[in-house]
């Protein structure tokens, strides 16, 4: 079985050649010269080493051993703690953290590359890092200066970890009905009481303290989501001098026994009058939490990319070595009993699908990272507003489409192995199990599709969509030469289709609100394939212009682009027809008839 290797060549291609990230970084005064191409390359090289050599080897034993709960104490799999210490000592936990409080201040465009390596190496391990990064983001954006100075440095250093505590046994998507309560105390703190479930990294042995961000309501809070506030609740209280004090009234009641990501502790957390501190304003907790959600949802989307890349590497290695039957056109290796299965058309179909969709995903994640950086660091208000609109529009696409195609790709990888793909020792069945959760948590993909179709498209009359469509149209208009025709012409057709589809759903929803939900999933997938067509056209343009190609890298890019446009992009036609079928057929059955 092939060992995971960080795909640095392709990451550099996307980052440096397709998007010229260094130019973006130098144009954003908010980055204050913190990063340049040379520094980024050195950091990627080091991240590739630690993920491939230190973290990836723990993936299988992490799955087989799993996180273990014993009387409120959670122990992570063997090797996790040592690897985490190594990772934290390198400053990686605070990679994109605010430099004022000890973070490295790196842009998200770089961060998404490191996240992909982490998820590709070991999804369970990566989740501990991802939750700390997300919680520090919310704290930095909305916490008081006192809270930031007290907690952020140790969280960025990896000495303390972070969580986000939203879900309750009766309240998942509908957070407005949470029951966790926060009662004001005389010293300005709050006594937080309630139970949260599905809390990633709620308890573990990797750090000396865990900082929980908890959604709760005051006793007199308004009903529904408008009454939710956000609180910081540490596992151990922190003394005035920064040292750890007594244990807070928060405990892990149990951990879940799951289909995958078994090395990640998914906890039931009980808060029994635990001391907490308000983050941001009262009754504005969802606003504060959603500051981190754009980043977290992109991160979970990247889990789909990382797992798919790991699956692809293993599947390609196997397909080159496994010999079965002869090629349809005659023996390729007549000196052997059979030919390697990579000669067979269907195996190539699966491998090319994995390659095209994973590389398209990598380009799109980088593009979304650029919008996040622009939104955060640009000084020009108009540029920042445009990036804000694109972030709002594309975040649900990234989370849902990355993970839907990531799961599809891992299933393809398993299928390439045949019966061996079902056997534990080859690793493919673990990837299928691990990546499956990414379609569910951080908002199920159905909810992401509803967000895209309803709030991000129909609600504003397609205004956000038009920003993205105009950019794609501008690229098409600038690349009308004969050399780009095979890529630009189908991109134009896909864009025209998506424009028409968007207008149709907006119009139909005026008379029937069910049209939004009925169209949402297929619409998101149509959007995703169209967005990838834009990414592949941009990659093809760079590959066509390459002056040298000693290792065949650019030719492989062009061949993969052609495969995408000819074999994968046509999926938009069946998806679009499903959208156009409308909602009526979904409601012909009474509930009792199901």
The residues annotated with a catalytic role in the active site are: 442
Q: Helix (H, G, I), strand (E, B), or coil: what is residue 2?
A: coil
3-state secondary structure of 274: strand
Whole-number CA gyration radius for the chain: 24
Phi, psi of 575 (to 5 degrees): -60, -45
Q: What is the 3-state secondary structure (H, E, C) of 305-318?
A: HHHHHHHHHHHHHH
Q: Report how far residue 92's alpha carbon sits from residue 86's, in angstroms, rounded to the nearest whole number.
A: 9
Q: What's the sign of the alpha-carbon dihedral 411, 413, 416, 417? A: negative
Closest alpha carbon to 524 in 457, 581, 472, 427: 457
Nearest residue to 233 (alpha-carbon basis) of 253, 254, 210, 255: 210
Looking only at Cα atoms, what is the longest distance across the chain? 84
Interacting residues of 22 by C-beta distance below 8 A, sequence separation 6+: 16, 36, 37, 40
CB 445 within 8 A of CB 395: no
Long-range contacts, stretch 440-444, CB < 8 angstroms, 24+ apart: 441/198, 441/200, 441/300, 442/293, 442/296, 442/297, 442/300, 442/399, 443/173, 443/293, 443/297, 443/396, 443/399, 444/173
Instruction: Look up residue 288 and give its two tokens.
Output: 């504060």
CA torsion angle 181 300 453 401 (round to 10):
-160
Q: Using alpha carbons, select from 215, 233, 231 the residue that is nearest to residue 179.
A: 215
Question: Strand runs (DSSP E) across 23-152, as ranges?
Answer: 68-70, 73-75
Question: For residues 106 and 409, what is the distance between their CA atoms, to the nearest angstrom?
Answer: 30
DSSP secondary structure letter of residue 76: P
Tell the burial category of 425 from Cβ atoms under 10 Å away from its Cβ (0-12, 13-18, 19+): exposed
């Amino acid at each position: 079985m092939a060992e995971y290797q960080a795909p640095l060549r392709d990451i550099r291609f996307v980052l440096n050649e397709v998007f010229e990230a260094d130019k973006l970084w130098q144009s954003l005064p908010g980055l204050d010269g913190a990063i340049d191409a040379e520094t980024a390359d050195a950091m990627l090289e080091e991240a590739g080493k630690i993920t491939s050599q230190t973290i990836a080897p723990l993936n299988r034993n992490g799955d087989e051993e799993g996180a273990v709960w014993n009387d409120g104490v959670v122990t992570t799999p063997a090797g996790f703690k040592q690897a985490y210490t190594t990772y934290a000592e390198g400053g990686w936990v605070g990679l994109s953290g605010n430099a004022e409080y000890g973070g490295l201040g790196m842009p998200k465009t770089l961060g998404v590359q490191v996240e992909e390596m982490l998820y590709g190496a070991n999804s369970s391990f990566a989740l501990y890092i991802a939750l700390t990064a997300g919680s520090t983001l919310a704290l930095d954006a909305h916490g008081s200066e006192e809270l930031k100075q007290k907690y952020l440095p140790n969280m960025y250093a990896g000495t303390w970890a972070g969580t986000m505590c939203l879900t309750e046994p009766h309240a998942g998507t509908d957070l407005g009905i949470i029951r966790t309560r926060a009662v004001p105390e005389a010293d300005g703190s709050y006594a937080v009481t309630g139970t949260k479930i599905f809390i990633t990294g709620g308890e573990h042995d990797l750090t000396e303290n865990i900082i929980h961000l908890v959604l709760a309501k005051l006793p007199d809070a308004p009903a529904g989501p408008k009454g939710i506030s956000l609180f910081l609740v540490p596992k151990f209280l922190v003394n005035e001098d920064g040292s750890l004090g007594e244990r807070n009234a928060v405990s892990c009641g149990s951990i879940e026994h799951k289909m995958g990501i078994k090395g990640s502790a998914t906890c039931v957390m009980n808060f029994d009058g635990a001391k907490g501190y308000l983050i941001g304003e009262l009754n504005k907790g969802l606003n504060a939490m959603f500051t981190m959600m754009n980043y977290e949802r992109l991160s979970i989307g990247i889990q789909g990319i990382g797992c798919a890349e790991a699956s692809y590497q293993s599947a390609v290695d196997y397909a080159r070595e496994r010999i079965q039957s002869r090629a349809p056109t005659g023996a390729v290796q007549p000196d052997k009993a059979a030919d390697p299965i990579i000669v067979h058309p269907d195996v190539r179909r699966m491998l090319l699908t994995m390659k095209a969709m994973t590389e398209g995903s990598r380009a799109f994640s980088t593009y979304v990272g650029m919008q996040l950086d622009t939104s955060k660091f640009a000084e020009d208000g108009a540029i920042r507003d445009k990036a804000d609109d694109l972030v709002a529009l594309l975040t649900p696409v990234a989370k849902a489409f990355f993970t839907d195609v990531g799961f599809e790709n891992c299933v393809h990888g398993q299928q390439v192995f045949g019966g061996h793909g079902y056997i534990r020792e080859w690793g493919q069945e673990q990837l299928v199990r691990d990546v499956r959760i990414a379609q569910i948590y951080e908002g199920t993909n159905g909810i992401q599709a509803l967000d895209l179709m309803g709030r991000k498209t129909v609600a504003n009359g397609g205004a956000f969509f038009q920003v993205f469509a105009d950019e794609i149209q501008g690229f098409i208009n600038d690349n009308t030469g004969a050399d780009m025709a095979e890529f630009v012409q189908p991109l134009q057709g896909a864009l025209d289709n998506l424009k028409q589809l968007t207008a149709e759903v907006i119009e139909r929803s005026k008379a029937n609100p069910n049209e939004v939900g009925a169209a949402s999933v297929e619409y998101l997938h149509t959007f995703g394939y169209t967005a990838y067509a834009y990414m592949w056209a941009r990659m093809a343009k760079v590959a066509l212009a390459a002056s040298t190609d000693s290792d065949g890298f650019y030719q492989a890019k062009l061949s993969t682009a052609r495969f995408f446009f000819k074999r994968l992009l046509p999926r938009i036609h069946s998806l679009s027809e499903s959208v156009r079928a409308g909602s009526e057929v979904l409601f012909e059955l009474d509930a009792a008839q199901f």
